[in-house]
Structure 1
Amino acid sequence: MCVAELGAKLSDMYNNAPKDKAIRMIRLFGIRYAAEINQGNYSKEEIMKASGICETYLNELTIGVKLSQYVTPKQL
């Protein structure tokens, strides 16, 4: 997966989330796609730019990637 594809997935998760859960979706994205981000050695800043989401939420993505070492997302 390339940066543009990751950005599109992040944008989709964020923009289609219920209004009060949008920021949580950034963290969930980080958890779900941490392996791709780390294996591809992709910059989280580049992914945020590709998503079109305000870069002030970069910290939320970073938190999600770090949390991926300790949690797995539930399938709803």
Structure 2
Amino acid sequence: MYNNAPPKKLVVMIHLFGIQYSEEVRKAGLKEVVAAAGLSHHLQAELNKGVNLGEYVIVRDPWKSRS
């Protein structure tokens, strides 16, 4: 998700990853996931925001109509 992020949506995609994989990230650990992805440790806070939102947010398919 990080490597394929649309322009100016990098942090949003990190949040989305945290939301979608919140349980897995919690089990593995934030530091470990960020390190395994080869990301800067500064992005750990952004991933943590997504993980925390994971229990409240349902991800929708962006390709479905909004009607």
TM-score range, shorter chain: 0.7 to 0.9
Bigger proportion of residues as helix = 1
For residues 31-63 of structure 1, give each alpha carbon's deviation from its aligned partner in whole angstroms, at most 9, with x where no partner exists: 00012223xx21110100111111101001100
User: If you compute each CA radius of gyration, which structure gives the higher value, 1 or 2?
Assistant: 2
Gaps of 5+ in 2: 63-67
Where 2:55 maps in the other structure, the secondary structure is: coil
Deviation at 1:15, TM superposition (A): 1.2
Q: Which residue in 2 is equivalent to 1:20? A: 8
Structural RMSD (CA): 1.0
TM-score by length of 2: 0.84
Q: How many pairs are equivalent?
A: 62
- TM-score normalized by the length of structure 1: 0.75
Aligned-residue sequence identity (percent) comes to 40
The corresponding residue for 1:74 is 60
Moved over 4 A (4+): none
2:41 equivalent to 1:55: yes
Query: Structure 1: any 5+ residue segments left out of the alignment?
Result: 1-12
Q: Which amino acid in structure 2 is aligned with residue 29 of structure 1?
A: F
